[in-house]
Amino acid sequence: MKARSVLAAIVLALMLFVAVGSSSGQQGALSADQGQVVDTVKAIFAAAALDDLAKFHAVVAPGFYLYDAGARFDGDAIMTLIKGEHAKGRRYEWNVTEPDVHVIGDTAWIAYVNRGGVTDASGTVPQEWLESAFLERRGGVWKIVFMHSTRVPAAPPASTVSMR
C-alpha cells in the first residue's frame, strides 16, 4: 500500500509540474475572470475610439496612468491626446489579440498584441503594439490601474536586412 501511495504522489507531482511548466502561454479558453479582463481592455479602446470620457472613467481606476510613445499620461491626458488626433482626421483601430491573462485574487495583469491601424487622409497604415495592463477588481468590477504600450516598428525592406 505504501508503494502505491508514493507512486500516486509522484504521478500527481509530475502532473502538477507539467501543468505549471506548460502554462507559460495563454490557454485556448479563458476563465470568466480572464474574459472580463480582456473585455475591460477592449472597453477602454471603445471609449477612446468614440471620445467617450464617461465610458473611459467606467473602466479605469482612480490614479490611472499609461506609458505610451515614450511619455507618461495621467488620468484623462490620453483621452485628450486621442481627441486631438481625431480632430486632425486620424482614426485608430485597436484589437486585443493573443491575450495572456493572469488573475490572482482581486488583481490581474494582461499582456497582448494590439493589431490595428492608423487611418488618415492618405489611407490606412497597419500597426502593431505590444501592450500590457494591470487591473484591480473593485466592487466586483475590473478597473485598469496601469497600461503600457510599445509600438512595433515596421520591418525594414528585405534588401536592407543584415544577418550580422
Domain locations in the chain?
29-152
Beta strands per DSSP E along the chain: 60-68, 71-74, 91-93, 96-104, 107-120, 123-138, 141-151
Could you tell me if 95 and 128 are in contact, meaning their C-beta atoms sit under 8 angstroms apart?
no
Can you point out the beta strands (E) in 8-106?
60-68, 71-74, 91-93, 96-104
Least confident residue range of 11-25, 43-57, 117-131: 11-25
No. of helices (H) and no. of strands (E), the chain: 4, 7
| pLDDT the model gives residue 19 | 34
Q: What was the pLDDT predicted at 146?
A: 98
What CA–CA distance (Å, rounded) separates 137 from 146? 13
Higher pLDDT pick, 45 / 8? 45
Cβ pair 25, 98 in contact under 8 A: no
In the prediction, which pLDDT does 8 show? Answer: 41
* C-alpha–C-alpha distance, residues 135 and 93, integer Å: 22
**pLDDT value at residue 162:** 56
Whether 63 has a pLDDT exceeding 80, the answer reads: yes
pLDDT digits (tens, 9 = 90+) for 98-120: 999 999 999 999 999 999 999 99
More confident residue, 83 or 6: 83
The CA distance from 144 to 84, in Å, is 23
Domain spanning 29-152, CATH class: alpha beta
Partners of 66 in the beta sheet?
73, 147
More confident residue, 13 or 42: 42
What is the average pLDDT score of the chain? 85
Q: How far apart are CA 63 and CA 138, in angstroms?
A: 14
Q: Calculate mean pLDDT across residues 130-146.
A: 98
Q: Which residue has the higher pLDDT, 164 or 128?
A: 128
Beta strand 60-68 pairing with 141-151: parallel
